[in-house]
Structure 1
């Protein structure tokens, strides 16, 4: 019976790879309104409501519920829709559901994105107290402070605030019970699915340290921090979240970002990530997904050969700052100083002596710095 399933919305081609999107406590699947339509261009997007939220029946959850109970409801929905294996992304409580799926049912996940969430939620007591308050007085007092917990000052999404006020108090309290009992810290190292953590730098509910804790424990995971984002990052900074998810879903955290770091070095990539803003997020996504995730990973040419080509192109166009970066990259890719010099000498013939002269100056400085650091 459909009324025993979580209320959901499906977008995109039925034949596309499935992607399930989980909401945070107090919201509905409207949390994904600014992101889901874009993702549906490449995926069969299925976003769902928590029990007692949006269109989901309140009696799908009971007092004393656990996050594992919610994960079972998500699997029941996937089974009913004929979805065997899927990518998953979730915010806050929805992210906790994703972690639970990853430790209990890894065979069902192709990838996992945990957004503004935690492997624990600051202990049981605050959630026990919130559950008791809601059972006693309803959602009025809690909903009145939602905007302060969810968004930075001056920003709001009225639809989500309304969803909070209209949630079923008993179901909301049972979700608080689930958060109170949730702590997967000791099981994080067992997660083997490709995992992305997304933190909002202004998030007071699950600060970046909570996501960093997961990233440090989950082997091979990646962490992205979004400047200016609070707890509901998909609603407040959809472009940045979208860029990160596109990278994850294309496989680039395991491909593009890994290659980018291997060639350019962690310090450079970390600086680029730290400078990322919502305005530049799509460009950073393009670089990681296309340049590094597709071009540099193409096996037709080796990385040594790609460094030779890149050095030549940068000299030809006079991009000296980028040239310095790629001289270092060429050394990581196995080129000797003599080989780099030979490339620059070749450019003197085909790109011009002045261009090669400037390039030799840059390369000599970088190689001297490399020698000094190595010494």
Structure 2
């Protein structure tokens, strides 16, 4: 399968973050933001079909935003990325909204920048698509700066990307925008959502982002003074600050769940023993293991405890097993249920492993009983 052109940055083990572009641009839109985000994330930025390095044949006339979202999921699958954080600008933001509504299990967090749940109806986009199919992109590219940026600011690379885009692919993206309207589905979005609006944006003014923020439960809205439609290019520091604050919620949420499951005493000891050498690993655990996996509502904490006990027995991690026996009790498992889980491990992990596990669990349960 031909994939969207993309660029990956950051540690392969870091939490994945996909960045989507605006119509007429390439992944260069994120040049001022992606390198900083790649310090803490595995950043993958992609090009729309017919833009940057992506093949024009990846989209056809009459395409939908759902078609583009499918291309993004195919890219993620090819990279071995199951669940990811997503941020997108304009059409890229619409892709993020579609993913949040139709594929919520794939997203851990969402940021929608200078975008909308609808793009002022179908007619303007149908007219633009017809114009581009008839005359090409040279005329639109001449006025790109006025549509994209406030004041005299411009980014020649992005204007050049606009001029060099494939006209038919660009027009098909216009078709997708013409058909896009998710307003009725916004209340279904459950992932943590940030909306970023440019105060000077004529294409998707702040009212469009407010509309999303008012409809999506728990959403946060940030308005950037002096920013127009391509805020990551014009105000990279402001966008970076907003994204870092939003993505940092995974770590804060993870720390809360970590304390809930393991107890304050254990977490406090771990934090006290943290060194500069182990800090990034501890942050990784808070964000990924606790902030993404343990917070996923698909399984209850009880169910996760049973799975975790089994995995620890299978690999002989008995110190960790002791910690998670305590966690299992905190998550509501009775001693009898813990015993049943360990008995199951005797069948599938081996009797010697289960024997050691029962000894560990018996010690912990006796200690718990003695302090109750």
TM-score, normalised with respect to structure 1: 0.67
Deviation, 1:123, is 0.3
Give yes or no for the alignment of 1:220 onto 2:205: no
Give yes or no for the alignment of 1:232 onto 2:230: yes
Q: Deviations over 1:6-59 (max 9, x none)?
A: 000000000000000000000000000000000000000000000000000000
Partner of 2:169 in structure 1?
Answer: 171
Moved over 6 A (4+): 252-255
Partner of 1:156 in structure 2?
Answer: 154
Tell me how far apart the structure 1 counterparts of residues 162 and 115 of structure 2 sit (CA, whole Å).
18
SS of match in other structure, 2:153: coil
Q: Does structure 2 conserve the Cα–Cα contact (< 8 Å) formed by 1:247 and 1:253? A: no
Q: Does structure 2 conserve the Cα–Cα contact (< 8 Å) formed by 1:120 and 1:183? A: yes
| 1:54-133 mapped onto 2 (5 Å cutoff) | 54-133=52-131
Partner of 2:46 in structure 1?
Answer: 48
Deviation, 1:142, is 1.2
SS of match in other structure, 2:232: helix
SS of match in other structure, 1:211: helix
Partner of 2:350 in structure 1?
Answer: none
Partner of 2:15 in structure 1?
Answer: 17
Q: Does structure 2 conserve the Cα–Cα contact (< 8 Å) formed by 1:222 and 1:253? A: no
Tell me how far apart the structure 2 counterparts of residues 87 and 144 of structure 1 sit (CA, whole Å).
34
Partner of 2:353 in structure 1?
Answer: none
Tell me how far apart the structure 2 counterparts of residues 235 and 247 of structure 1 sit (CA, whole Å).
19
Deviation, 1:144, is 1.2
SS of match in other structure, 2:204: coil
Deviation, 1:236, is 0.2
Partner of 1:181 in structure 2?
Answer: 179
Cα gap change, 1:199/1:253 in structure 2, threshold over 3 Å: closer, same or farther? farther
Cα gap change, 1:254/1:63 in structure 2, threshold over 3 Å: closer, same or farther? farther
RMSD value, Cα: 1.9
SS of match in other structure, 2:8: strand
| 1:268-287 mapped onto 2 (5 Å cutoff) | none
SS of match in other structure, 2:141: helix
Tell me how far apart the structure 2 counterparts of residues 253 and 216 of structure 1 sit (CA, whole Å).
25
Q: Deviations over 1:275-300 (max 9, x none)?
A: xxxxxxxxxxxxxxxxxxxxxxxxxx
| 1:236-315 mapped onto 2 (5 Å cutoff) | 236-251=234-249
Gapped regions of structure 1 (runs ≥ 5): 256-375
Deviation, 1:252, is 7.0
Gapped regions of structure 2 (runs ≥ 5): 254-372
User: How many pairs does the alignment contain?
Assistant: 257
Tell me how far apart the structure 1 counterparts of residues 175 and 19 of structure 2 sit (CA, whole Å).
22
SS of match in other structure, 1:9: strand
Q: Does structure 2 conserve the Cα–Cα contact (< 8 Å) formed by 1:111 and 1:249? A: yes
Q: Does structure 2 conserve the Cα–Cα contact (< 8 Å) formed by 1:14 and 1:44? A: yes
Deviation, 1:86, is 0.1
Deviation, 1:87, is 0.0
Cα gap change, 1:253/1:178 in structure 2, threshold over 3 Å: closer, same or farther? farther
Deviation, 1:253, is 11
SS of match in other structure, 2:93: helix
Tell me how far apart the structure 2 counterparts of residues 125 and 94 of structure 1 sit (CA, whole Å).
20
Partner of 1:26 in structure 2?
Answer: 24
Deviation, 1:233, is 0.2
Deviation, 1:254, is 7.8
TM-score, normalised with respect to structure 2: 0.67
Partner of 1:371 in structure 2?
Answer: none
Tell me how far apart the structure 2 counterparts of residues 166 and 254 of structure 1 sit (CA, whole Å).
43
Q: Deviations over 1:302-341 (max 9, x none)?
A: xxxxxxxxxxxxxxxxxxxxxxxxxxxxxxxxxxxxxxxx
Tell me how far apart the structure 1 counterparts of residues 148 and 135 of structure 2 sit (CA, whole Å).
22
